[in-house]
Chains A and B, each alone.
Chain A
Amino acid sequence: MSTQSSVAEIPVSQAAKASEGIHTDTTAKYFLISAVAYFFIVGIIALIIAAKFVWPQMLGTVSYLTYGRLRPLHVNGMLFGWLLACDMGLIYYFVPRLCGVKLWSEKLGVATAMLWNFIILSAVVTLLLGLNQGLEYAELVVPLDVLVVVAWVMFGANIFMTIATRKYQQMYVSLWYVMGTILWTAFVYLTGNFAVLMATGVNQANLNWMYVHNAVGLIFTPAGLAIAYYFIPKSSNTPLYSHKLSMVGFWSLAFVYVWTGAHHMLHGPISQWLQTIAIVFSVMLLVPVWAVVYNFFATMKGQWHQLKDNVPLKFLMSGVVFYLLTCFQGPMHSLRAVNAIVSKTDWIPGHAHMAVLGAFSFFAIAGSLYILPRMFKTALYSDTLANWSFWFFMIGGLGFFVTLWLGGFWQGWQWNNPAIPFIDTVVALQPVWLVRFFSGIFMFIGIALYAYNVMATVLRVQSTPEAPPKAVAATV
Chain B
Amino acid sequence: MYSGDYVYPSIYFAYFLFLIFLVGAIYFFLKSYRDGYWGEEGESIKYQVWADEEKPRQGDK
Contact = CB atoms under 8 A, between A and B. Distances in A.
Interface string B18-61: 10010011000100100111100011011111011111011110
A255 B6 CA distance: 28
Contact of A191 (B17, B35, B60): B17
A416 interface: no
Contact of A207 (B10, B38, B55, B57): B10
A235 B53 CA distance: 14
A210 interface: yes
A254 B43 CA distance: 21
A66 B37 CA distance: 53
Given A187-B17, A198-B7, A303-B58, A172 B25 contact: no
B16 to A, nearest CB: 10
Nearest to A231: B49
A239 interface: yes
B52 A19 contact: yes
- Interface SS majority for chain B: helix
Contacts, number: 119
A183 to B, nearest CB: 7
A199 B43 contact: no
A254 B18 CA distance: 12
Given A239-B46, A242-B43, A247-B32, A97 B52 contact: yes
A170 interface: yes
B6 A198 contact: yes
Given A98-B49, A170-B37, A199 B60 contact: no
Contact of B59 (A13, A169, A196, A239): A239
B21 A187 contact: yes
A11 interface: yes
A308 interface: no
- Interface SS majority for chain A: helix
B29 A171 contact: no
A191 B14 contact: yes
A118 interface: no
B7 A168 contact: no
Contacts of A200: 7
A201 B8 CA distance: 12
Contacts of B47: 239
26 contacts: A16-B54, A97-B52, A98-B48, A98-B49, A167-B51, A168-B51, A170-B48, A172-B49, A195-B10, A195-B13, A197-B10, A198-B9, A204-B7, A207-B10, A207-B11, A242-B46, A243-B37, A243-B42, A244-B37, A244-B38, A247-B32, A247-B37, A251-B32, A258-B21, A474-B53, A476-B52
4 nearest A-B residue pairs (beta carbon): A198-B6, A198-B10, A13-B54, A240-B46
Interface of A: 10-11, 13-16, 19, 97-98, 100, 167-173, 183-184, 187, 190-191, 195-201, 203-204, 206-207, 210, 230, 233-234, 237-240, 242-244, 247, 251, 254-255, 258, 302-303, 474-476
Given A98-B49, A251-B25, A475-B53, 17 more contacts: A97-B51, A167-B51, A168-B51, A169-B35, A170-B37, A172-B49, A191-B13, A198-B7, A199-B7, A200-B7, A206-B11, A239-B46, A239-B59, A244-B37, A244-B38, A244-B42, A476-B52
